[in-house]
């Protein structure tokens, strides 16, 4: 299949609704805009949150408190079972190696290793955090779990 061979599914493409072309078309006279008023005019729209002059809800509610969103630390999570997909030559594992293998995103530096899955061979794993079960499985396979 090539891009120029793609076709829409039957019924996916509709013709444009032609409003204001007489009553026979079903969208004549007011053209689906109702009666008179601000919303019937061209360019007439009411901004989101406007309640007709009444005090809007977003102004009534208190805006207090702390939000951690800008100060949070993103942690890339990986299971020990995923280490098996690494190349056979790789013995030392860190964030750069995992990013190159596509197991985590490129910019992520803080990595936590979890214990789901099995470790087939010895790895020297350097990460920010380890779960207890992950640390035990890595060391049981003859490897090292180094907290960095």
Tens digit of pLDDT at every position of the chain (148 positions): 899 999 999 999 999 999 999 999 899 999 999 999 999 999 989 999 999 999 999 999 998 999 999 999 999 999 999 999 999 999 999 999 999 999 999 889 899 999 999 999 999 999 999 999 999 999 999 999 999 8
Q: In whole angstroms, what is the distance from residue 60 CA to residue 72 CA?
A: 29
Q: Of 127, 114, 110, 115, which is closest to residue 75 (Cα–Cα)?
A: 110
Q: Of 125, 121, 126, which is closest to residue 140 (Cα–Cα)?
A: 121
Residue 76's region, left for phi above 0, alpha for psi from -120 to 50, else beta, is: beta
Q: Residue 25: what pLDDT?
A: 87
Q: In whole angstroms, what is the distance from residue 76 CA to residue 126 CA?
A: 13
> What structural domains and CATH numbers belong to the chain?
71-147 (3.100.10.10)
Cα 45 off chain centre by: 31
Q: Residue 52: what pLDDT?
A: 93
Ranges of beta strands (E only) in the chain are: 76-79, 92-93, 111-114, 124-127, 129-130, 144-147
């Amino acid at each position: 299949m090539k891009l120029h061979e793609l076709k829409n599914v039957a019924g996916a493409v509709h013709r444009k609704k032609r409003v204001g072309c007489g009553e026979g078309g079903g969208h004549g006279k007011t053209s689906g805009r109702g009666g008179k008023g601000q919303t019937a005019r061209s360019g007439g729209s009411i901004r989101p949150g406007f309640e007709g002059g009444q005090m809007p809800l977003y102004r009534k509610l208190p805006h207090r408190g702390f939000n951690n969103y800008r100060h949070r630390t993103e942690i890339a999570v990986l299971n020990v079972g995923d280490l098996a997909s690494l190349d056979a030559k790789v013995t030392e594992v860190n964030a750069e190696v995992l990013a190159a293998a596509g197991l985590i995103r490129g910019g992520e530096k803080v990595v936590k290793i979890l214990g789901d899955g099995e470790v087939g061979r010895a790895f020297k794993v350097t990460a920010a955090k380890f779960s207890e079960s992950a640390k035990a499985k890595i060391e049981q396979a003859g490897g090292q779990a180094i907290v960095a």
